[in-house]
Structure 1
Amino acid sequence: MEELRIHSVLVTGANRGIGLGFIQHFLGMPTPPKWVFAGCRDPKGQRAQELQNLASKHHNLVIIPLDVSKPASIKAAAATVKKRLGGSGLTLLINNAAIVRNANLDGETLENMTEIYTTNTIGPLLMGQAFLPLLKKAAQGSPGSALSCSKAAIVNISSSGGCVSAPEIFDLMPFISYRCSKAALNMLTKCQSLGYWVHGILCVALHPGWVQTELGSSGGYQPPLTVDTSVRGMLKVLSSLSEKDTGTFLDWEGKVLPW
């Protein structure tokens, strides 16, 4: 595959699961990014221990306190990243942070819906707004006009559970707030692609597959995909994306998914 050549990348929810997998793969690239920003809610906590270990070995990894459900935290993270980047821009923003609550139709609550939407949908919206100046700067500093993930891009980690036209998933994933938040995230991705293409920023929603993570196993089943397999697949997809792909919904193998 064509190698991604990324100057800088920020991954949210980077202390475990898919987010941590992205960080590990970016650091292990033949030509790694100059800056790898790992956002997580508690950088000094026990759940960020693996990130801390990586940061002690990789000078280009910067762990940033970031709670995407809190606008002030997002604003502070953007200021930190801007300072680290100096005069350069942010090439790639991966909105990976997400939460789930195991609530069916009868058990869903206002509190659940509000909490899930705030993290899974509103968070990526606010992240896009806060980091837009840095993404625009990356696009302006990249030669050529064609969109790509090596120029400037927002990648929203979505889910096939957000597919409105896939009712067969309901029995496997009857988590109402989570599924609604991902369907809304897909619409956000489409809106971002329409609003940000003029700035040279590619926007795409990716389904990582059913992955062996804490979130993926929350329904009590054993997912078929490892984090490594999923992340390798998604990075291969990202390396192949071009202008025609902005605003699309793809899975970890590059297959177009129905809305």
Structure 2
Amino acid sequence: MGELRVHSVLVTGANRGIGLGLVQHFLGMPTPPKVVFAGCREPKGQRAQELQNLASKHPNLVILPLDVSNPASIKAAAATVEKHLGGSGLTLLINNAGVAMMSSLDSDTLEDMTKVYTTNTIGPLLMGQAFLPMLKKAAQGSPGSGLSCSKAAIVNMSSIAGSIEEMYVWEYGQVISYRCSKAALNMLTKCQSLGYQEHSILCIALHPGWVQTDMGSGGSHKPPLTVDASVRGMLKVLSSLSEKDTGTFLDWEGKVVPW
């Protein structure tokens, strides 16, 4: 396993949970990225207080106003990132922002399904489009012909709840719109892997585990994984990925998750 050496990284939904955990771990690396972009909807709000505290201690952390359900917000964030990078390219895009609703087959609505899909599936599509020029630039500036997360990569935070074969914890919650949006995100990841391979950009769908976050802890059962354990595992997986892994669906331990 190689060391994950990332020149720059952008994490969406970075003000809490897994997103915040990723930002903390990137900043704490022996060789941290030159710049860590942390995207969230309200950078100056109370929910981003921990990010603000981190930024006061780490000059390489840039907090971005970013709502992945809003194309104008994505476009503005891309312009800001490009300006900060100064032509060096974006190494790693982690599409982590996500929403879930405790819906059932009987209760799901057009509005709920649209909201969840817009954030969980369409957001990563638009982010990939907006940041593709910067990812391509990072890949072009990296030596070697293989793919890796240290060269250029898109990581889509998926969920085993989107696995059609597993239908994970159905008995605990149907969460129809969430499951459907993640299954669609998996297909998007596969499409991105095929479409962006010619640009030497690795694309992966990653299941972080059932994690103790605001979203993960919404039901009556306590998730088994801490944010720290999940993030450490995922970063270990990301450091080991190569061209054979692009377009696959893996969990935080590197195990293949069935589609």
TM range (shorter): over 0.9
User: In structure 2, what is the equivalent of residue 237 of structure 1?
Assistant: 237
Does the 8 Å CA contact 2:160/2:168 hold for their aligned counterparts?
no
User: In structure 2, what is the equivalent of residue 54 of structure 1?
Assistant: 54
User: In structure 1, what is the equivalent of residue 190 of structure 2?
Assistant: 190
Runs of 4+ in structure 1 off by over 4 angstroms are: none
Does the 8 Å CA contact 1:157/1:206 hold for their aligned counterparts?
yes
1:28 and 1:157 map into 2 onto residues whose CA distance is 21
One-letter amino acid of the structure 1 residue matched with residue 176 of structure 2: I
How far 1:87 sits from its partner (Å)?
1.2
User: In structure 2, what is the equivalent of residue 163 of structure 1?
Assistant: 163
Consecutive unaligned residues of structure 1, counting only runs of 5 or more, are none
Q: Deviations over 1:57-78 (max 9, x none)?
A: 0000000000000000000000
Q: Deviations over 1:6-54 (max 9, x none)?
A: 0000000000000000000000000000000000000000000000000
2:56 and 2:168 map into 1 onto residues whose CA distance is 45
Q: Deviations over 1:111-134 (max 9, x none)?
A: 000000000000000000000000
One-letter amino acid of the structure 1 residue matched with residue 16 of structure 2: R
Farther off after superposition, 170-179 or 147-156: 170-179
Matched residue SS, 2:135: helix
User: In structure 1, what is the equivalent of residue 255 of structure 2?
Assistant: 255
Matched residue SS, 2:183: helix
1:170 and 1:223 map into 2 onto residues whose CA distance is 15
Matched residue SS, 2:93: strand
User: In structure 2, what is the equivalent of residue 64 of structure 1?
Assistant: 64
User: In structure 1, what is the equivalent of residue 22 of structure 2?
Assistant: 22
How far 1:168 sits from its partner (Å)?
5.0
1:100 and 1:159 map into 2 onto residues whose CA distance is 11
Matched residue SS, 2:104: coil
Farther off after superposition, 161-170 or 226-235: 161-170
Map 1:3-18 → 2, pairs under 5 A: 3-18=3-18
How far 1:218 sits from its partner (Å)?
1.5
User: In structure 1, what is the equivalent of residue 77 of structure 2?
Assistant: 77
One-letter amino acid of the structure 1 residue matched with residue 85 of structure 2: L
How far 1:232 sits from its partner (Å)?
0.1
1:39 and 1:27 map into 2 onto residues whose CA distance is 15
2:172 and 2:156 map into 1 onto residues whose CA distance is 23
Matched residue SS, 1:167: coil
One-letter amino acid of the structure 2 residue matched with residue 196 of structure 1: Y
Aligned-pair RMSD on alpha carbons? 0.7
Does the 8 Å CA contact 2:161/2:168 hold for their aligned counterparts?
no
1:101 and 1:130 map into 2 onto residues whose CA distance is 27
Q: TM-score scaled by structure 1?
A: 0.99
User: In structure 2, what is the equivalent of residue 140 of structure 1?
Assistant: 140
Task: Give the total of aligned pairs.
Answer: 259
2:78 and 2:247 map into 1 onto residues whose CA distance is 24
1:184 and 1:169 map into 2 onto residues whose CA distance is 19
How far 1:2 sits from its partner (Å)?
2.4
Consecutive unaligned residues of structure 2, counting only runs of 5 or more, are none
User: In structure 2, what is the equivalent of residue 125 of structure 1?
Assistant: 125
Does the 8 Å CA contact 1:161/1:173 hold for their aligned counterparts?
no
Is it true that 1:173 corresponds to 2:160 in the alignment?
Answer: no
Matched residue SS, 2:228: helix
1:103 and 1:119 map into 2 onto residues whose CA distance is 16
How far 1:190 sits from its partner (Å)?
0.2
Identity of matched residues, %: 80
